[in-house]
Amino acid sequence: MAKRARLVAGNWKMHGSRAANEALLAAVIAGVRELADVECVVCPPFPYLSQTAGLLAGSRVAWGAQNVSEYASGAYTGEVSAAMLLEFGCRYAIVGHSERRASFGETDAQVAAKFAAACRAGLVPILCVGESLTEREAGRTEDVIGRQLDAVLDASGPASLAQAVLAYEPVWAIGTGRNASPEQAQQVHAFLRARVALREGSVAARLRILYGGSVKAANAAALFAMPDVDGGLIGGASLVADDFVTICGAARSNP
Ligand code: PGA
């Protein structure tokens, strides 16, 4: 089986301040210094990216954006392009987070266009897919996340996933304190990997699939022990340095 480097990304959502970021990042940098086999990433709000880039310089923590425009440039007020992010050192961009799909009306097609724009510029998209509670209870989990994934596969091709990260984030688990069980996560991750393998087996074997949704210091190790869970996308717990560092530690291949 292909060995996949573990990755833990913090999605700060719309939280932070210059002072809070400084303290949080200093503690995270110090806390993950020895975790050589885990890639650690933080995704602050846009205005703090430059501050974050400066504070993280020379550390082993990378940074990413929480969103990216599907357009390259032009009359798109309020948008930020992938090339702009790349210009000052951004590596990752979250695309298709369920909050953007639900609160800002992002469609599968738009998410696929954002994914393509991130790839074109050389960013690593973190593509989020996930079902709502109603969809899960109706037995539609695989239909929904299969559709969300296929939109990207159809638009960009399976090879594009070689430079991307996938994140399974069940909507019912985000910010609710109710995480998917390790077995539930594993089942969906295996489904996603098999879906990619239908198009391109070698890409599927190497693809990192993160789990997100109420990952905490206390449940991270059990989730990351699953064979198809390659790390996590962390919301609330990424704002608490000790918790985020513990979660990164739980992602070590041999903890
Ligand atoms: P949570 O959020 O860890 O607070 O549930 C995860 C996410 O939305 O990425």
pLDDT, averaged in runs of 10, over the chain (255 residues): 88 98 98 95 98 97 98 97 95 98 98 98 98 98 98 98 98 96 98 98 98 98 97 98 98 78
- Whether 51 maps to a domain, the answer reads yes
Is the Cα torsion angle 42, 48, 50, 55 positive or negative in sign? negative
How far apart CA 158 and CA 169 sit, in angstroms, is: 21
Give per-residue pLDDT as tens, 34-50: 998 999 999 999 999 99
pLDDT (0 to 100) of residue 13: 98
Of 214, 240, 244, 247, which is best to mutate to test ligand 1, by the most ligand atoms within 8 angstroms of its C-beta?
214
Q: Are 251 and 232 in contact (CB under 8 A)?
A: yes
pLDDT (0 to 100) of residue 88: 86
- Whether 113 maps to a domain, the answer reads yes
Annotated active-site residue in 39, 99, 106, 169? 169
- Whether 98 maps to a domain, the answer reads yes
Atom in ligand 1 nearest the alpha carbon of residue 236? 4
- Whether 101 maps to a domain, the answer reads yes
How far apart CA 83 and CA 77 sit, in angstroms, is: 16
Q: Are 183 and 211 in contact (CB under 8 A)?
A: no
Q: Residue with the nearest Cα to atom 9 of ligand 1?
A: 235
- Whether 1 maps to a domain, the answer reads no
- Whether 94 maps to a domain, the answer reads yes
Burial call 223-241: b when 16+ CB within 10 Å, e when fewer: bbebebbbbbbbbbbbbbb
Q: In CATH, what number is assigned to the domain containing residue 103?
A: 3.20.20.70
pLDDT (0 to 100) of residue 255: 58
Residue numbers of the domain that contains 57:
6-252
- Whether 78 maps to a domain, the answer reads yes
Give me the number of domains the chain comprises.
Answer: 1
